[in-house]
A and B are shown apart, each in its own frame.
Chain A
Amino acid sequence: MLLKVISYPYLAHLFTAFSLIFFLVSCKGDIPPLEREEHDLPQDAEVSSTEPGNYGGVLVTAESQQPRTFNPLVAEDAYSSEAIGRFLNGLTTYHPIKEKVVPELARSWEISKDKRTITMELRRGVRWSDGEPFTADDVIFTFKALFDQRYPNRYMGQYTIAGEPIEFEKLDRYTVRFTTARPYSPFLYVIGFIGILPRHVHLEAYEQGELLQQWSVRTAMHSPEEFVGTGPFRVRSFRPGQRIVYEPNPHYWRVDSQGQRLPYVDYLITRYVQDRNTETVLFASGQIDIASITPGDVVGVRKNAPLHDYTVHHRGPATGIRFLWFNQKPGESEAGKPFVEPHKLEWFTSRKFRQAILHGLDREGLIQSVYFGRAELLHSIISPANERWHNPDVPRYPYDPDRALELLREEGFELDGNGDLVDSKGNQVSFQVYASEGDDITPQILSTFRENMRDLGIRVRIRYLDFGTLVARVSRHFEYEGAMMGFTGGADPSGGRAIYLSSGRLHLWNPEQEEPQTDWEARIDELVYASEETFDLEERVGYVHQMQEVFSEELPLLYLVTPHAYVGLKDRWENVRIPAMGSVIWNIDELYLGQEK
């Protein structure tokens, strides 16, 4: 009963204090070291280049959301994907320090002259965590499943290139060949997204059409040993609302230079907490090993560092982007009501109107106040954290209310006697912005936005919805005027094609267009396709830079700010290498417990 109440996000605050006491009590007692199974190393085992370490230790993390599924074909959210990534591997992976694609289950690859055929050699001798051998059949099985019409999933779109699904065939036990309809340069990057599934486990369910029911949260609770993978860990136990415990996979294919099979840690535990605040409190009181820290909490958390031997690392700008946008979708709903009132649609589709709005928002002030000076202005659709692809030379819109009014006047807007802004037809300018509840910075940004807009004579109403309702409204019903949201960032811009392309599902302001509706959207489509077909990195960067220029000029998304990312990590962990982007414990298999200082 109580647990049910706690799981409701808004009640969470109430229980922060209680849970603290609870955790203090529940954390006593040492966990016995793990008895490791001995198995032969695979023929193609990868030898880690880092310092060899010692077995042992428990790494504890916390998360405010828990996985909704453990099936990669079902997973849509970051939390499920992260849990799946602990026990499944892809063919390739992105190395965040080297900033390039490196082999995972594929040992090597060859790209044909016409750039359309990729032949992959698989790692020999790799075994699944239940001891069965891993072969090309598993790869073929996985791709067959994800292109199966019975199992709709998000990879299907990602792996459809120029309208054609990627073709795949088995050449021999350890070789597969992929063919794309057109040359596709991010192929190696995107092919690593899907975790390869064990054919011997899922074949029966696949044939009976029940693949999507496999590996659910229920499986995790009752029989976690059914999660068979090639990743560094396997699931030991899962308690919803409490924790998930992973233990090392005894058949993992990576070893250190002394021939010890990775990973070093005995257990990896992720605790489920009510909110970000709890996570920070747990970290600052030394109860978890790692936590991301918001800019406002950095000073406070650092105060406790000597007590619990941790360090708060500055990671530079965050990788995600945050923005406001206006609905530019023409047409009407099934009920015959236009998505946006025609005179408002006229404002929202006006470039100068959008530019004026961004000029009118005091983002510099927000950085100074809400973000404690630990953030920077965002000017482009790709975060400055992504140094390779970010274009620093795009049009910028600093806080300048005079310039904003000037731009509005050029578009025929005028201030009336009461200080209200009216358009050329005499309509008073006012709109409503939706945002999601449940984070403390959003209301501060939006109330500042509201005040700033009032200075321009614009009336803004703000409505808070829960995240699911907001997403449904902007992506399915389209009945809204403005909204605020964010995207997490990936390494290669090809991960953002659903946002950039006019036909994209996440082309928020006017999604899934059959034909690009404006010249600039057509131009962006061209640039995206061009960048995907070019194999020369510099040329690709050039296209992506041009694309960012168009976005910043047209401003379909009004960028807000990029907070700096901070991460707290206990000092006792060795081999930690913090990358500019992505998870801090990306090399979790290489982390080991150093000597207590």
Chain B
Amino acid sequence: MLKEIVLLMLGSILINNFVFAYFLGTCPYLGVTDKLSSSLSLGAATTFVMTLTAPIVWLINNYLLVRFNLIFLQNVTFILVIAVLVQLVEMFIRKTSPVLYRTLGIFLPLITTNCCILFLAILIPIREYSLVTSLFFGIGSGLGFMLALIIMAGIREELSLADIPPSLKGAPLTLILAGLIALSFMGFAGLL
């Protein structure tokens, strides 16, 4: 059991990282990664939402949807769960840190539409995780997403001081960077 959880966490952080292996959630990955501090907090907020989404989705799926033969409602209910959780996070951040609330701006409510989270929710019934493993799958995937944001933000902070050819400045360089990082993470492929 413990071994399974450790492997699942490691796998979802490094090997099957949503951003690097599946190219999901690239919108915040490219959009808010110009500063390390704000990408760190967005990563933390997303991790929180993912951690809670996973077990709630598991409960709803197994005790409501499967029991009443309503599996076709999966996507709708999952999005509903995600939206509610994001709303909660938004309220919490607005209350506790107005500065962070304004820094994240539109990207905070947009966690709702982060495809990483819906992908996570859809994977849970498909891969037939248990309640506990789905919780750790959620944590792992969230941490993996955070790792992606932090790596990107760290590199981009350094690059903002570098002498870059004008034709590569901004989006082109960021996309090349994203590709190179994903390529390096391919080195983990097949380890598990």
A binds B: no
Chain B residues within CB distance 8 Å of chain A: none
